[in-house]
Structure 1
Amino acid sequence: MIKAIAKLFKALNANVNPGEIAHAFSCGILLGLMPKNNVLWYLFFIFILFIRINKPMYLLMTLLASAIAPSLDGLFDSVGYAFLTIPALSDFFATLFEVPFVAFTKFNNSVVMGSFLCGLAFYIPAYFIGRLFVFLWRKYITAFMRRTKITKVVAKLPLLGKIVSLVGDE
C-alpha cells in the first residue's frame, strides 16, 4: 500500500501525462459509485486495468468513491428507476434479461443502473477536475509543500526514506 501511494505521488510530480492521471481519477469514480455485488462491476474493474492509466490514482479514487456511494443510493435509485421504466426501452430490457449471464450484471436493479448512469454522466466533469487537480498540484501545491517546515521535518523521518527507496526499485 505504501508503495502504491509513493507511486501516486511520484506520478503527480513527474512528467507523467496529466490525461492518464485524470482518466484514472474518472474511472475510479465511475467504478467506486457502482455496487460491488454484480458481474458488471468486476467486468469494468478488469477492463479498466488494461487501459493505460495511473493505477494508484484509479485504486485510490475507487476507494474514496466507494466510501461516498452509500450516501447517494437514494439518488441512484431514483435515476435508475426513471431510466428502467422508460416505456420505449421495456422490450429491450426484457430481451436483455433473458440472455444467459446478462442477469448477473444486475442491470435491472435501479441502484446499479442509476449509479452506472451517474458515473457515466460524471466521467467528463471528473476528467476535467482531475486535470485541474494535476495542474494545481504541479504548479502550486508541490512548491508550497517543499517550503513548509513540517515537510522538512517529516522528510527526515526514516519511514519516508523507505518509501523513496521502494519507489526507486522499479
Structure 2
Amino acid sequence: MQKILVSACLLGEKVRYDGGDSRQSGLIAQWQSEGRLISICPEVAGGLPIPRPPAEIVSGSADAVLRGRGSVQRQNGEDVTDAFVDGAERALALCMKHQIGFAILKEGSPSCGVNSVNDGRFSGIKIDGEGVAACLLRRHGIDVFSEQEVEQLALLLND
C-alpha cells in the first residue's frame, strides 16, 4: 500500500503555531483509518515549541532559504531558519525511510505551503509560493498536494 506523508495538523494533532489543528475529514480521514498516512509537523520536528510565535519567509523564497540565501523569521526579527530547514530535512528523511512519493501538506504554512505562503510582512496577505518543507520534498521528486488538492491525489493513486 502506497504511504503518504501528511501534515500532522491535518490529522487533528494540535501542532499549529497557535496550538490548534486543521483537521480534515473525507479522504484524509479515510486514508488515516487505512494506515496509509505518515504524519509530521516539520516545524515541531525542527525543534519549535507549541504554541509558538508565527514565522514567515521574510527574505527570498523557500528555495533561497534552502540554499542559505533566504530566511524565516518571527515578527520580532528572531531568525528560525535553521529549525525550518531541519524540519524539512526530517520530513524528507521520513519519505526516504518509508519510500513515500506523495505528500499532503497544509496550504499557506511557511513550512508546508504548497501554492501559497504569507507575504513575509506579517500582513496576513497570501502570495504565490511554497513552504520550506514543500520545496525540499519537490526537489527530491515527491509530489506535493495541499489539503484542497486531495481529490487530485486520489485520482493519481487510483490509476
TM-score by length of structure 1 reads: 0.25
Name whichever structure is richer in helix by fraction. Answer: 1
TM-score by length of structure 2 reads: 0.26
Q: RCO (CA 8 Å, sep 6+): is it higher in 1 or 2?
A: 1
Name whichever structure is richer in strand by fraction. Answer: 2
